[in-house]
Structure 1
């Protein structure tokens, strides 16, 4: 008889809990599923379930992440998608329509059984039942709008319109407002209309004339970054949520540490960075089991939808890392990072040369040493012209 190690037994227990939980959530929905029934179905004790997942919400999010991971195994990571996998688009409308269709494929269609949508990527309404996780969800959607906008602003996508390259965040926000209206309902197809109509509405937004500039009113009041010469000793590798790959942190650039209630500030790093900068956004939270899993679920799934629609060549020069153990935040100099953290550093030649903290930190660290005229206008991918 083969003896399992403690780690192997724990992994087997976790897998059994996930399998049982997926079945229960699918059959009964989030609200009416009981942890006791999950334990019974997995032939485990209630304590065994809670030793692996601290709450029902954490378990539900883990089930959804497992579904995303299985889908990723089938389709590959963003870096594994060949450029030909995303068909050539002839207009912004066509590109947005394709993105919307890919997004809506994840939701149950009208006519499916009620249980078909109960454990599904779009079924988050009942999970967002307190203010901290709702606030984090709102900031995650801000980050998603930025990612979609950067795909629309990429050199390949700019060819889809005769207009001069411009910020596309407002357009992205409108598209996601339509799609998230579908996605947060337990039965989205019935509650918000036919998904094909929604996709067509998103496509029409591609032709809408919008005035969209990046000029946050608080930037003139941001204190300058502090110059320093501190050793940069980062962790070896962490996973990038956008590409799905392990990445290191050497090289010149800007690293911004943002709590999950401050993710909207990621655009400051993207727009303010200099040409050639490596931009890293480090996401921190005091609740990795729930809020951390929400970020992992939404961004990982969103990135796959994005690259399927636009192709990996449109991926922005941005890495997004969930720092659930605080390793990268501690290396930056923020040992007690939480959901409200906003801190940034500039790295040059393996040395931290500037530090900034509080609102506008990314802007301050990215633009330190530059004249105002050097950063008052930026190209859509964030590089100074």
Structure 2
């Protein structure tokens, strides 16, 4: 006999259906060209269900991006065992970021449409809570003591921007191996083997 879903389970299933449908449409058509009636139709829910879970289309878009950013951070964290030396973990995490960003549509959502729709400040906050946080933690561990003679927040921002540019270039058809090699070379010059 099938068990009935509880109200929280039904609510979570509705929310997930809306996020999945919105993600697919935002990737296919872009944010501006996607309408809320299309989203609810694709999710097979009512318009009321959409507005029960989200304030508006922008709020739904933000939730899609936050879910994508969490997935990226989870992939980075899964690739970096605490048993690894910090420098190796930083290198593995960097490659995991590029792998995570190769999920179809993710680069467009997080690096192109996200800043255009939400603005640089909101995207920076989402990134800081997820991928940039993992990068900062990895750099802190790999650089260790004594503290480097440069600003760690500034280096995190610069590396994060470099990784984003690599993801955009790969998405546009550039050779992934060339960018992976360049990212590894960049990190190897910042964090010497004796530090990490």
In the superposition, the TM-score normalised over structure 2's length comes to: 0.65
How far 1:51 moved relative to its partner? 2.0
| CA distance in structure 1 between the partners assigned to 2:53 and 2:143 by the alignment | 46
**Distance (whole Å) between structure 1 residues aligned to residue 89 and residue 25 of structure 2:** 37
RMSD: 4.3
What SS class does the counterpart of residue 101 from structure 2 fall into? coil
CA contact (8 A) 2:72 2:100 kept: no
C-alpha change, 1:43 and 1:68, in structure 2 (3 Å) is: same
For structure 1, the residue ranges without an aligned partner over 5 or more in a row are 109-115, 211-313, 315-385
4+ runs of 1 displaced by more than 6 Å?
Answer: 1-4, 68-73
Structure 1 residue 176, shift from structure 2 partner: 1.3
Q: Does 1:166 align with 2:152?
A: no
Counterpart Cα distance in 2 of 1:4 and 1:145: 37
Instruction: Give the aligned partner of residue 31 of structure 2.
Output: 30
1: CA distance, partners of 2:62 / 2:148: 36
Correspondence for 1:201: 182
Distance 1:10 1:178, change over 3 A: same
| Cα-to-partner distance string for 1:155-184 (whole Å, 9 max, x where unaligned) | xx348xxx954256244333212112244x
- Map of 1:323-338 to 2, 5 A cutoff? none
**1:1-385 maps to which residues of 2 (within 5 A)?**
6-66=7-67, 83-84=82-83, 86=84, 88=85, 92=87, 96-108=90-102, 117-118=104-105, 120=106, 123-124=109-110, 125-129=112-116, 133-138=119-124, 148-154=135-141, 157-158=142-143, 164-166=146-148, 169=152, 170-183=154-167, 185=168, 188-191=169-172, 193-208=174-189
Residues in 2 aligned to 1:71 and 1:190: alpha-carbon distance in whole angstroms: 16
CA distance in 1, matches of 2:33, 2:25: 9
CA distance in 1, matches of 2:134, 2:43: 39
Larger helix fraction of residues: 2
Aligned positions, number: 186
Q: Provide Cα deviations, 1:20-43, integer angstroms capped at 9, x if missing partner.
A: 334433443434322211211223
What's the CA shift string for 1:283-334, capped at 9, x where partnerless? Answer: xxxxxxxxxxxxxxxxxxxxxxxxxxxxxxx9xxxxxxxxxxxxxxxxxxxx
Q: What 5-or-longer segments of structure 2 have no aligned partner?
A: none
Contact 1:178 1:198 in 2 (8 A): no
Tell me by how many angstroms 1:69 deviates. Answer: 6.2
Aligned to 1:383: none
Displacement of 1:148:
3.0
Higher normalized strand content (fraction of residues): 1
SS of 1:38's equivalent in the other structure is helix
